Structure 1
Amino acid sequence: MSALSVAVEHRQGAFRLDAAFETPGGVTALFGRSGSGKTTLVNLIGGLIRPDRGRIVLDGETLVDTGARRFVPPHRRRIGYVFQDSRLFPHLSVRANLLFGRRLARASDGIGFDDVIDLLGIAPLLGRRPNGLSGGERQRVAIGRALLARPRLLLMDEPLAALDETRKAEILPFLERLRDAARVPIVYVSHALPEVTRLADRMVVLEEGRVVASGPVDAVTARLDVSTLRGARQAGAVLSATVEGHDPAFALTRLATRAGPLDLPLLDRPVGASLRILVSARDITLSLRRPEGTSALNILAGTVAEIGPSADADPMVELRLDCAGASLVARLTRRSLAELALRPGLPVYAAVKSVALLD
């Protein structure tokens, strides 16, 4: 895996980017609202913009060092780029578009043509032209072209932003296969939290040109001090899980997590399989004693670790819970907070109403 280190400053008109982060590889998401600086930052990594000041190092090679007046041009960086729009050559077939990517390769190692076709499921498309493809199909071809250039890093700038929900659902499994099989480090730009929690290993949160949070997805999504995350309707915490067993009589699967066991509707996963789940802040209710005589299947013991800020006009507040070392986030009314007299250090029980499977 390629390690990436970025520390840059750049001004474009009234907007100023001052961002630094490091990632060891895997999938790193640049997450934030529109205008937060995500695309500017990824363009700096790809060499499409020269920073005013800073340093970028990829896999031990310094790509940019303004102090030393070093700037490696884009075509020498071995970085693949997938844009929001596929940018395929309309006059070429899918096969010819893919072969163009292979002609750009500067190394003999990496994924081969047949492997890319199989990975992205595009064999039936090879003889067609881009204007005859769906949006999701075009993006898969664009990803294949970038992979065939044998990059040591792949940049993906909101590749699903222009797609409707049906097309997004079509392409997300292929992105997961890319993450798991291609072994190419990816910097993935998105303002959609469900995409990030499903695909990324690490995330970098940008607000107004600055990095406000960086680290593993499970740690960052549980933070209460990042307004970009807290404003998302799907806000919650990510947990790693293992399939512990199945109960066909009741059509349930038990997952083992660090926070405690969770029962879900029956999953088509073998015992021992690893996966990730999202526990939404909206799907947790709290009580001071373990609930009895309830239909809730999943009740986890924890401690109030942190209470987030809340404006007077906002009826809701969020809490971070420590459940055996794992973090969960709960959203409840300020009235409930007061009536339960919740405070950091207080033991509570969290009833989890539903869980979203991420992979």
Structure 2
Amino acid sequence: MSGRGSTAAVSGNVQARLGAFSLQTGDFSWPLDGITALFGRSGCGKSTLLRAIAGLIPRASGTLRVGEALWLDGRRQTPAPQRDVGYVFQDAALFPHLSVRGNLLFAASRAPKGEAPAAIDQVAAEVGIAYLLDRRIAALSGGEKQRVAIARALLSRPRLLLLDEPLAALDWKAKDELLELIGQIARTQRLPMVLVSHAPEEIERLAQRVVFMQDGRILRIDRR
């Protein structure tokens, strides 16, 4: 995918109002590489900014550029399905009535015709879920569900992977394994990521830079 590991940037100035909360980021820019962490207290706007990047806030305004692509210009937005992003939610958000393979087949629609099974097998091996492909979602542990969610996001062939507190509900063993996996994917696939977290140990282990947020604003961006 073009753009992976490039010197391009995620930049803009995003505004959005959701009820009583107002996102007013101010101007920002960070390189489109490595892992960028959005950090701050609960309710500061981390997940709101992530959703705006994904195109999931219909009334967002301002500007947002990812590499050469202008995704937000005033109130004109590139629709979410047309943005090259993968999104991993805190609760995995899988289809419970499908098997693991079924969930991944649904996500592999961007693969060339006839190549989806091979793509699924490859990603399943990379993420460590090959032995789970025929299991139902209800039979999986929390850590296994998040591995499936990551595999599903990778199958969409994203330019940017968005992670919204994917480790928050996991026990320490599962969290430690997922931290290793996320770091490995970022390194080996040169896939830029934006990680929402309020856990300093996750940021210390994964992030190349930290975007500090407070009350809907970006205070500063520090490189680690």
**Fold agreement, TM-score > 0.5:** yes
Amino acid at match of 2:215: E
More strand by share: 1
C-alpha distance in 1 between matches for 2:101 and 2:153: 13
Point out where structure 1 has 5 or more consecutive residues left out of the alignment.
218-359
**Per-residue deviation, 1:104:** 4.2
1:168 aligns with 2:141: no
Aligned to 1:35: 43
Task: Name the structure, 1 or 2, with higher relative contact order (CA <8 Å, separation 6+).
Answer: 2
**Per-residue deviation, 1:84:** 0.3
Residue 61 of structure 2, aligned match among 37, 46, 53: 53
Amino acid at match of 2:28: F
1:31-180 matched pairs, under 5 angstroms: 31-66=39-74, 69-104=75-110, 112-180=119-187
* Runs of 4+ that moved beyond 4 A: none
**Per-residue deviation, 1:58:** 1.2
Percent of aligned pairs with the same amino acid: 50
Secondary structure of 2:170 counterpart: coil
Residue 192 of structure 2, aligned match among 180, 185, 210: 185
C-alpha distance in 2 between matches for 1:105 and 1:156: 22
**Per-residue deviation, 1:18:** 1.2
After superposition, the C-alpha distances for 1:260-295 in whole angstroms (9 at most, x for unaligned) are: xxxxxxxxxxxxxxxxxxxxxxxxxxxxxxxxxxxx
Aligned to 1:202: 209
Amino acid at match of 1:54: G
**Per-residue deviation, 1:53:** 2.9
TM-score by length of 2: 0.88
The structure with the largest alpha-carbon Rg is 1
> What is the aligned-residue RMSD (CA, Å)?
2.0
C-alpha distance in 1 between matches for 2:44 and 2:59: 16
More helix by share: 2
C-alpha distance in 1 between matches for 2:216 and 2:60: 14
C-alpha distance in 2 between matches for 1:105 and 1:72: 22
Point out where structure 2 has 5 or more consecutive residues left out of the alignment.
none
C-alpha distance in 2 between matches for 1:137 and 1:6: 35
1:158-307 matched pairs, under 5 angstroms: 158-217=165-224
**Per-residue deviation, 1:173:** 1.3
Secondary structure of 2:97 counterpart: coil
Secondary structure of 1:128 counterpart: coil
